[in-house]
Amino acid sequence: MKKLDVTTRDYKFGFRAKVIRRPLFAQKFMGIIVDFGGSDPQKLCGGAHFLEHKLFTKKSGDISQRFEEIGASTNAFTTYNETMFYASFTEHWRQVLPLIFELVGTTYFTKSNVTKESKIIAQELAMYQDDPNWQVNYELMQMMFPKTSLAEDLTGTKSSLKKMTPEILQEIYNNNYVSCRMEFVACGGFSENQTKEILREVGKLESKYLISKKVAPKKLSIVNSQKQHNKIIASDLITSRVGIGIKLPDFKKVGLRNSTAQSIFEMMLQAKLGVTSPWFEKMQKQGILNSPMELQVSYTTAGNFATIIGASGKPDLFLKNIKSQLLEVPVTEEAFVFQKKEALAQTIREFDDLSTIAIEEAEYGLENDSFNSASQAIQSLSFNEFYTAVENILDKSDIFTTTLKGKEEAN
């Protein structure tokens, strides 16, 4: 399989930059990823996400408008593990590059702009809460990771949003926005000379804008779950919504890198519960499940977990069947081969999506991993290795469930 063409440079104090060359594409992408996200310890929950919003405000106004002036579009996102700021554009990369560093490397927090932003984020939170899957996920997290950042939405709570101040934001920024916890990535049709120029400029901009200080590496904390493992909640929904949370062990303790373990567990879930599994067809025929479920596997500093969310008019039967399928039925070698083919195709497809591939490469970078080596690890995996890894992970896992009872079921 062809490899992604990546040039990497390490700078002083642990900052790293990568340029991915994808010729013939019109789009160019540049971004900085920060190894600090919603699940990391922070003074107020939602702090990482609040910071993501507020870094766009500078003394001279909204920095997005300066990106717009040169025809670029800028945005950012916060996940459990990281915050990423980026720009998408077709020309003027020399002007975009310093703006990205200014965006991440300077702050302007005032009482008035923080208060105003808390109202906007409250609307963002309200928008998420209007989705029934949000509540299912929320209840699972409350049971699996109580009293941690994971137990609340990444955007925070109504109360934490009101409590946010410029001082708290600055403190969170100073503690986490340090050069050794950041990585720069560019992707597009850059020439070799342009690649060298970008990496040279990045060195200058890193010294100019980023704080260089040593910070302790992030550590996985041990969180005691609630004793309660199953919740049933009445709802206005017509069809019940069912969620299964699987609290997973520290992947290093089962001898796996985070990215490899995540891929293996995703492959297992797809093989056992996905649309190509005989189980899924059986559930459809019995009217227990009509549509595919949402399957997600995550690793964070507050703990690793998988969530499975689906809609069913027969939630009790659904839960019973899914648990036995997960814990009692092994993945066949044939299903494993299918999953490897799917993974290979997915890797190839990602080459054509510049934003996705740049973000993935940056995310892997925070784990001292790379897109190429992570793909290679999965393609060289044997069935025995896969089988053993799945057994080891499942053996140390704990299962939680939430049901939002629909009216169909109540009737």
Partner 1 sequence: MTNIRIDHNLKFKTATLGCFLRLPLDKKTLALANILAYMQSNATKEFPGINLQAKTFSNLYNTSLQVFPEVFGNQIVVFYTINFVEPREILDPDYNYEVIMDAFFKVVKEPLFDGQLLELAKRQLEQERKQYYELPANVSLSGFFNTWYRNMPSYQDSVFGDEKTLKNASLEEIKSFFNTLKNAPAFCLGQAQDPDSLTDLVQTQLDWPGYFDDFVVSTLSLPAEENPIEREIQFKSEQAQLLIGYGYDQSLPIYLKQFGGLFLGEYLAGDESAKLFTEVREKLGAAYAIDATNYLNNSLFLISTGISKDKIAAASKAIKMGVKAVQDGKVDEGIFSKAKSALKRNYQISTDRQDLILIQMLANALRGRDYTFVQRIADVDHFKIDKLVEFSQKLYFNESYCLK
Q: Which of 3, 10, 12, 68 binds partner 1 (CB under 8 A)?
A: 68
State yes or no: residue 240 binds partner 1 (CB under 8 A).
no
CB of 132 to partner 1, least distance (A): 6
d(CA 318, CA 290) in angstroms, rounded, equals 11
Using CB atoms within 10 Å of the CB of residue 219, give its burial: 0 to 12 exposed, 13 to 18 middle, 19+ buried: exposed
List the interface residues with partner 1, window 343-362 (CB under 8 A). Answer: 344-346, 348-349, 351-352, 354
Instruction: Please report whether residue 120 would count as binding partner 1 according to CB under 8 A.
Output: yes
Two structure tokens written together for 275: 């649309």
277 is an interface residue for partner 1 by CB under 8 A: yes
Q: Which whole-number Å values give the CA distances from 8 to 124, 134, 183, in the listed order? A: 36, 38, 10
Among 73, 159, 191, 382, binds partner 1 (CB under 8 A): 73
Give the nearer residue to partner 1 in terms of CB position, either 24 or 216.
Answer: 24
CB 33, min distance to partner 1, A: 21
Nearer to partner 1, 60 or 224 (CB): 60
Per-residue tokens: 12: 């002083």
Of the pair 250, 350, the CB lying nearest partner 1 is at 350
Q: Between vectors from CA 37 to CA 35 and to CA 39, what angle results, nearest 5°?
A: 125
The verdict on 127 binding partner 1 (CB under 8 A) reads: yes
**Min. distance of Cβ 117 from partner 1 in angstroms?**
8
Task: Decide if residue 291 touches partner 1 (CB under 8 A).
Answer: yes
Q: Is 295 in the site for partner 1 (CB under 8 A)?
A: no
Between 1 and 20, how does the x/- string for binding to partner 1 read (CB under 8 A)?
Answer: -x------------------
DSSP 256-276: --HHHHHHHHHHHHHHHHSTT
- Burial-class residue 196 by CB neighbours within 10 Å (0-12, 13-18, 19+): middle
Decide whether 236 or 395 has the Cβ nearer to partner 1. Answer: 236
Phi-psi map region of 37: left, alpha, beta (phi>0 left; psi -120 to 50 alpha): beta
Q: In the complex with partner 1, which residue's Cβ is closer, 228 or 346? A: 346
Interaction between residue 121 and partner 1 (CB under 8 A): yes
Q: Tell me the closest approach of the beta carbon of residue 207 to partner 1, in angstroms.
A: 29
Helix, strand, or coil here: 209? helix
Q: Cβ distance 154 to 46 under 8 Å?
A: yes
Task: Report the residue from 284, 324, 379, 382 that binds partner 1 according to the rule CB under 8 A.
Answer: 284
Please list every residue from 22 through 61 that binds partner 1, using CB under 8 A: 23-27, 56
User: In whole angstroms, what is the distance from residue 48 CA to residue 172 CA?
Assistant: 8
Q: Which of residues 362-391 bind partner 1 (CB under 8 A)?
A: none
Using the minimum distance from each CB to partner 1, give the nearer residue, 230 or 346.
346
Provide the β-strand partners of residue 135. Answer: none
Task: Report DSSP state, residue 26.
Answer: S
Stretch that binds partner 1, among 11-19, 126-134, 171-179, 321-329 (CB under 8 A): 126-134
Q: Between residue 327 and residue 346, which ones bind partner 1 under the rule CB under 8 A?
A: 338, 341-342, 344-346
**Nearest approach, Cβ of 304 to partner 1 (angstroms)?**
26
CA distance 140 to 230: 9
- Shortest CA distance to 366 belongs to which of 9, 73, 4, 33? 33
What is the residue-wise DSSP string for 80-130?
SS-EEEEEEESS-HHHHHHHHHHHHH-----HHHHHHHHHHHHHHHHHHHT
For residues 240 and 298, which CB has a smaller minimum distance to partner 1 in the complex?
240
Q: Site for partner 1 (CB under 8 A): which residue of 215, 220, 232, 237?
A: 237
Instruction: Please check whether residue 98 is in contact with residue 63, taking contact to mean a CB–CB distance below 8 angstroms.
Output: no
Binding site for partner 1 (CB under 8 A): 2, 23-27, 56, 62, 64-65, 68-73, 88-90, 116, 119-124, 126-127, 129-132, 236-239, 275-278, 280-281, 284-285, 287, 290-291, 311, 313, 338, 341-342, 344-346, 348-349, 351-352, 354
